[in-house]
Structure 1
């Protein structure tokens, strides 16, 4: 199954012991490979069959791309260091800012001062205004689609309009610009963010995601810049990015290593390649010949290769990820407007068959909520607690008999396809759903995925999603996925892929959770929202994903970013020359 999913970052040191268990710390199979990293040479990153959907920092929300861009060519106010120490690896350090931010009112106002010795790839200085402009782009919801703008909508001190969205509509129209300028302002190189309510973990959000990154107003072409990279990191794009093929990154001569404590930038170049199948990638890795010797990937080893793990030796790593896979009924579908139909789908879902088709216990563990169990505040969702992992076909048939849709109930399942594993998993769900009385059409998307299902009028009845907390808090899972007020617009459903709209009851539950200052009590309130989502069958949890990776034999200093997201940490990796 294609693994283009969301990131995990840090909230506070007290949560780390729990979160590291999810991220794979201390697994006996985890082994670094390749010895000490060296400078020079040419490295390769294999994206596999899943294309990059956005390089625009304000639109990026896929864990792989967030990880790689933040290690190679995008810098932000603060970042996470290259460390798997439980505390150090998840504590933000200054990046383009001189410190990790200051607040004197418990997080309602944050100030950062931008370094005066950092530059863009063309040599122009990075300014406070560049950061303000980058933040402003999030509010253009008809142009900048797909990113985590919901956090700014929730916290930044900008009033909402009748549509429930901020009255500021972004820099392209300028409507409400004065409201934004009061909330985000510059004084020389010092930028100030004013919140409507306390946001104590604002630095963690800036380190985890890219939506607060600076952006060049003079180079902004809106949607036309989706694959444009304006670098301020150690590498820059050589020529253009070619969707489906990739691109080559070369050294950025205007990056100064003395200003950057995080990125070692060992290789001379990084070549990104898209299009190879997972099977082709792993045949090359296990043979360890040709270009594959110099490559790393975010593609997980296909289950058919598990018997050959020993061939990889210390080039193999196993990391428990922060991600949960789930399926969602589309609330815009005529079928799933009916609660009985949604209940039938829930009862018919055979997560055991899905897991077996995806590689079994080496690849997954069952999930009973959209929240990873290692996120502080997790509680097993009662709506799924008593449903057998194999599903309950008889109960599903009884629920489906009450469904108002014509029988058999025809549904289209749109999923991230293109690999034998993902297709086998989809077929496993089809078999269990059809046994209950559905008639399921499988609709694999092989190139881009999220940009398709994020269209409110997308033609599907059920879809797949994958999510990891943006930092260890249940509050970075529930509202980004299911708060319709910050997701549903005329042009996008944001991360609410099933177009769920809970109405006043759910809105109040979310608001009450946000308003609770005690973290333990707030976690209980978020769990209550999750329980309501389960009652409405807003989603159906499947499993928690395990990463099984191999890298090339001439890669040096290989490390997985275990304390943050589990991916290969390109900040510290090198290649033999």
Structure 2
């Protein structure tokens, strides 16, 4: 989510999870039944019949935090979305459905949104969920004293006064969010925001119980005992090797939650995870390339195309990567088709821009964004060498050495080794790979402590802005050193003057993507992710999301397990 929107490559299941939004999942909720083995029909057995309602799965990375103000990665957003309801959440059709908000009204000018909250939602400590919980959470996320990355990123330019508050120029109490009474939330926007409803389903906008957060202070959200839930599930165990969620019996919609437990084990090696699946200890497994051909003919094999992109980030504060020709050489030297066919072998697609295919369409013609903008780069090793020689001449060097920040999972290391070999085809270039744990990668990205890194992003909401806004000058998720007044102006115009002019706004985003990739070579696109997986056929109605949490387990159930 996303991506979310998710920033660093740690390939989820088959690959580690990534920063952002990362999110990511199948872009069609209508296919979620098929992906989880459901026949898609409503039957009297939709509650699972006599089957034990326990889902057993793995993850390839630990949860860095369960504090919604501090979360930046797909692992955290997955389990925040499983345990906490915001104003809206994504349903099985991947569209926002009522959660804590029963409904809302929008003013004619699009600047004021009034949310009417249900009065029967409670926290797991018995406290009611009120509009004040949203006011506190949103103010906390944008308060510079909190140190949130996503709060300022998601709210600045959207919620009234958020940008000035994040900069320390305006008191946090001036944020455009108000509880007009316990169950009415009024939100004032800086400008009309076409995607705001879907934004409210994202993890940064989840409510927080102020008394509970302040009671636990620095220990809040670090273990199961210092967490609260108002959603379908609640944590009962949480350690570095896994965690356990149980159904929240006090959830306002508990009648529609069938699973009694979700057990998650951290397993970083695909072979180990496959063995757990084969011995029926887990119900889903992601497959790395060496297992895909073995299982492709299985009835339990699934491929999910996701609106999630991976690319090389290049730190322009590095002298070599500050050179445009060097960056363009890196864009063109990697054989991305061989990479997706051989290293991934899971249905992933070669990426040639910074917008996934089948994600957003032109508002009039309904043509796909990716199709309209075409392939912005292509693998061309001869051209790459020419650009590299020009770069070396401009830099006055014969040889160059670059660090490469990589992941510590099995598949991440295979991917990083492949990319290292490809990059070192540039004459005189040496690439030093550092394989580090997930949390360290998050920290080093934040500090821009890298030269190259294989990074990922999934959408935080369904709009082109989620992929393109992140590269504005000093953007909270930029972390490349890229700064362009012209690029900034295109994004600003799309989100200000053109906010209610959908065609012109879309054209701005098309132009911005060309500038980002084709002209300024900020990123080296690699691939659009797909996930090759095995699912037990008795797992039904797991929703697969295009943003926020990768999966929705609220409606999932087990049926037919022996």
Alpha carbons of 1:157 and 1:559: their partners in 2 closer, same or farther (altered >3 Å)? closer
Alpha carbons of 1:560 and 1:112: their partners in 2 closer, same or farther (altered >3 Å)? closer
Alpha carbons of 1:290 and 1:380: their partners in 2 closer, same or farther (altered >3 Å)? closer
What are the residue-to-residue correspondences of 1:153-552 with 2, within 5 Å? 153-158=156-161, 160-161=163-164, 166-167=166-167, 176-180=171-175, 183-207=177-201, 209-220=202-213, 224-227=219-222, 228-239=226-237, 241-242=238-239, 244-257=240-253, 264-285=256-277, 287=278, 289-292=279-282, 295-297=283-285, 300-309=286-295, 312-313=298-299, 315-360=300-345, 362-374=346-358, 375-376=360-361, 378-379=369-370, 385=376, 387-388=378-379, 392-404=383-395, 406-419=397-410, 421-437=411-427, 438-448=429-439, 451-458=442-449, 460-479=450-469, 481-487=470-476, 495-502=477-484, 504-515=485-496, 516=498, 517-534=500-517, 535-552=519-536
Deviations 1:189-231 (A, max 9, x none): 2111111111233111112x11111102122256643535321
Whether 2:91 is the aligned partner of 1:66: answer no
Measured in 2, the distance between the counterparts of 1:391 and 1:141 equals 48
Measured in 2, the distance between the counterparts of 1:324 and 1:25 equals 22
TM-score by structure 2 length? 0.83
Instruction: Tell me the residue number matched to 1:570.
Output: 553
Structure 1 position 321, deviation (Å): 0.9
Contact 2:406/2:454 (8 A) holds in 1: yes
Unaligned 5+ segments in structure 1 are 11-18, 84-88, 170-174, 488-494
Alpha carbons of 1:160 and 1:123: their partners in 2 closer, same or farther (altered >3 Å)? closer
Alpha carbons of 1:384 and 1:219: their partners in 2 closer, same or farther (altered >3 Å)? same
Alpha carbons of 1:334 and 1:37: their partners in 2 closer, same or farther (altered >3 Å)? farther
Q: Find the residue that maps to 1:513 and give its secondary structure.
A: helix
Structure 1 position 8, deviation (Å): 8.0
Contact 2:405/2:453 (8 A) holds in 1: yes
Alpha carbons of 1:399 and 1:355: their partners in 2 closer, same or farther (altered >3 Å)? farther
Structure 1 position 404, deviation (Å): 1.5
TM-score by structure 1 length? 0.81
CA RMSD of aligned residues (A): 3.2
Deviations 1:50-109 (A, max 9, x none): 222232223334345434432x3110111122x2xxxxx13322111121x211233211
Contact 2:94/2:543 (8 A) holds in 1: no
Contact 1:248/1:272 (8 A) holds in 2: yes
Structure 1 position 468, deviation (Å): 2.5
Which residue of 137, 140, 165 corresponds with 1:137? 140
Contact 2:22/2:457 (8 A) holds in 1: no
Measured in 1, the distance between the counterparts of 2:329 and 2:184 equals 55
Whether 2:98 is the aligned partner of 1:94: answer yes
Alpha carbons of 1:3 and 1:435: their partners in 2 closer, same or farther (altered >3 Å)? same
Which residue of 60, 81, 85 corresponds with 1:75? 85
Measured in 1, the distance between the counterparts of 2:338 and 2:382 equals 10
Structure 1 position 187, deviation (Å): 2.7
Measured in 2, the distance between the counterparts of 1:167 and 1:527 equals 30
Q: Find the residue that maps to 1:238 and give its secondary structure.
A: strand
- Further displaced range: 320-329 or 396-405: 396-405
Alpha carbons of 1:509 and 1:167: their partners in 2 closer, same or farther (altered >3 Å)? same
- Further displaced range: 439-448 or 215-224: 215-224
Deviations 1:432-454 (A, max 9, x none): 21111311001122343652243
Structure 1 position 28, deviation (Å): 13
Instruction: Tell me the residue number matched to 1:16.
Output: none
Contact 1:24/1:321 (8 A) holds in 2: no
Q: Find the residue that maps to 2:308 and give its secondary structure.
A: strand
